[in-house]
Amino acid sequence: MADWSKLSIDILSLIHGELSVLDYIRVGAVCKQWNFACKLKYHCPTKKPQSPWLVLPDECDTTTIKFFSILEKKTCNIPCPEPMIHRRVYIGSGHGWLVTVDDICNMHLLNPLTGAQIPLPPVTTLPFVSARHNSHGQIIEFVVEVPYGANIISTLVFSFERMRCIFFQKAVLSAAPDVDDNCLIMMICNNWKHLVIGRARGEAWKCISLYHHYTNIIHRKGKFHSISDTGIVKHLEIGLELV
């Protein structure tokens, strides 16, 4: 009888590409070799289009992330990747990845199935955000200038918690970062809902617009699409050389 546990990683990767997300999770429970293949960092679990999953809050269980499959109408608990990420704020998702903000406002892309994490640029690389430090060089709070074009109309001071709850509004991805090294992330940020863009594994965020208050953004067919609170719709095709 064939020993299925000895299938090569390449063969298992081909199989994974044909599975639903729920079946992908089940495959990882078959044996150690299959579980190892599922946990490969930056491995794309499945290439097939998938129905959306919802992330559900669960204050009682800090060791897993709870998801709800809309198609199968089932709840699934996935072990939290290390380091534990249950306290992170989720501000966006796409292509199987979550955009997260941790306790000290560091941003990461997180693949909840493989545990892979990719850092995003520090928020202090934005021209209107700076940090205050204690005597040990640790950040203790953020100073956010509120720009309107070339003018600064106010200055706000945020603790970590207020920064997480107020500053980070929404983020979208242009592609899966484990497939496309040129993955771009566009974000609506701060109280005045300005538009900025950065790259996965990049060094800095870049401002796109400081005038309109943006209420929503999506990425479709190679372009970012945004809408402001006054109903202005923009279609943005941004070259990688600009980020």
Q: What is the pLDDT of residues 223-232, one digit of tens each?
A: 999 999 888 8
pLDDT at 170 over 90: yes
Tokens of 147: 């720009």
117 and 76 in a common domain:
no
Report pLDDT for 150: 66
Q: Is residue 154 part of a domain?
A: yes
100 and 9 in a common domain:
no
pLDDT, tens digit, 9 for 90 and up, residues 144-167: 988 666 677 788 999 999 999 999
90 and 177 in a common domain:
yes
Tokens of 34: 């299959």
197 and 151 in a common domain:
yes
For the entire predicted model, the pTM comes to 0.82
226 and 141 in a common domain:
yes
Q: With CA atoms as reference, report the closest residue to 171 among 222, 230, 217, 118.
A: 217
3 and 74 in a common domain:
no
- Give the mean pLDDT of 174-192: 86
Report pLDDT for 149: 62
Beta-bridge mates of residue 154: 146
Q: Is residue 94 part of a domain?
A: yes
Burial 52-74 (b: 16+ CB within 10 A, else e): ebeeeeeeeeeeebebebeeeee
pLDDT, tens digit, 9 for 90 and up, residues 77-128: 887 766 667 788 999 999 889 999 999 999 999 988 778 889 999 999 999 9
Report the first-to-last Cα separation within the chain, whole angstroms.
54
Q: Is residue 243 part of a domain?
A: no
> Residue 42 contacts by C-beta under 8 Å, 6 or more apart in sequence?
111, 114, 116, 118, 177, 178
Q: Is residue 218 part of a domain?
A: yes
162 and 121 in a common domain:
yes
> Residue 67 contacts by C-beta under 8 Å, 6 or more apart in sequence?
53, 54, 55, 56, 75, 76, 77, 78, 112
Report pLDDT for 148: 67
Q: Is residue 15 part of a domain?
A: yes
Mean pLDDT, rounded, of the chain: 83
Domain count, the chain: 3
Range of the domain at 72: 51-80
56 and 36 in a common domain:
no
Q: Is residue 43 part of a domain?
A: yes
Burial 94-127 (b: 16+ CB within 10 A, else e): bbbbbbbbeeebebbbbbbbbbbbbebbbbeebe
Q: Is residue 29 part of a domain?
A: yes
If one compares 49 and 218, the residue with the highest pLDDT of the two is: 218
219 and 148 in a common domain:
yes
Question: Distance between CA atoms of 125 and 141, rounded to whole angstroms?
Answer: 15
| Run of H or E including 137 | none
22 and 101 in a common domain:
no
172 and 220 in a common domain:
yes
76 and 44 in a common domain:
no
Report pLDDT for 57: 76
Report pLDDT for 198: 94
